[in-house]
Structure 1
Amino acid sequence: MQSNPFLRYGLAAGLLTFASVATASDAMSSATETVSYDSDKTLVLDFHEAAFACLDLREAHKYLSASFIQHDPAVEDGVAGFAKFHASLRSAYPRYSSEVRRAISSGGLVTIHVLQRLNPWERGDVQVHMYRVVGGKIAEHWVAGNPIPATSLNANGLI
């Protein structure tokens, strides 16, 4: 079966045109959105550093909205709920550590991929946290995670 060179070149030209229009459109929308996305991501990373890497509750408070909504079933809503959770974490696990491995931001949502260890001798958990940022404050939080297993059927790992 012979291929039609006009069809092949036409498809290639069409794809190139579509890609250049999409890229130009993305570049224009990114120019206006990058600032807020980057600042949202920075805000969440700064919050995570203060709250979980440094365990500094006073510093962490300034990042949360007054009506902070929590989707983690172990944490109550609001700044007071977060403070209560944070105090129990610091008390129960004084050698707790948390390290952000990846972060991505889009449309007011920031997702971070985190390695968490309650104690330094543990393998730990890998968690994905998603935050909704509104008006320069963290308004909402979701979390999902997995313990790091001793063995795996692949060599990819969770981190």
Structure 2
Amino acid sequence: MSLAKNKENAIAFYKTAYYGEPQKAVELYVGDEYIQHNPDVSDGTQGFIDYFNRMQEQYPDKSIEFVRAVAEGDLVALHTHQIWPGNDQYITMDFFRFDNNGKIVEHWDSIQQIPKESANDNTMY
């Protein structure tokens, strides 16, 4: 298992699904199971596919920047900056667990909207 390859695959998986091809993302990057910890997404691959298809239909003009990718053991963490319609901006931190074949089998995330005002001048990304 290559940490660099897992980081590359986590980003490719996320980007492929985010920009409207969640079925392809699952086929290319997901293992025999897919355990989902985001409470807004049903468990398993079909829940993932349904969620990202719905997001693409409702928000086709969203964008994502991958700010950081960190890998350790069988985990990859991604830190992203997302811009949605109406200039709603979010920061996400996603964790993906990989199996021994280099396929994604589990996902956790934390999502926070970037506030209009901040007590400091630092970005959240």
Correspondence for 1:158: 124
Between structures 1 and 2, the one with greater strand share: 2
1:66 and 1:79 in contact (8 A); partners too: no
2:23 and 2:49 in contact (8 A); partners too: no
2:35 is aligned, of 69, 72, 79, to 69
Greater RCO (CA < 8 Å, at least 6 residues apart): 2
- Is structure 2 residue 66 aligned with structure 1 residue 100? yes
SS in 2 for 1:152: coil
TM-score (structure 1 length as normaliser): 0.72
TM-score (structure 2 length as normaliser): 0.91
SS in 2 for 1:48: helix
After TM superposition, which residue ranges in structure 1, 4 or more long, deviate above 3 angstroms? Answer: none
Distance 2:52 2:72 in 1: 27
SS in 1 for 2:2: helix
Correspondence for 2:24: 59
Identity %: 31
Whichever of the two has the greater Rg, that structure is: 1
Between structures 1 and 2, the one with greater helix share: 1
Distance 1:126 1:143 in 2: 10
Note the alpha carbon deviations across 1:109-137, whole angstroms, 9 max, x for none: 00000112221x31411010010011211
Provide the aligned C-alpha RMSD in A.
1.4
Aligned residues, how many? 123
Distance 1:136 1:106 in 2: 13
Q: Gapped runs of 5+ residues in structure 2?
A: none
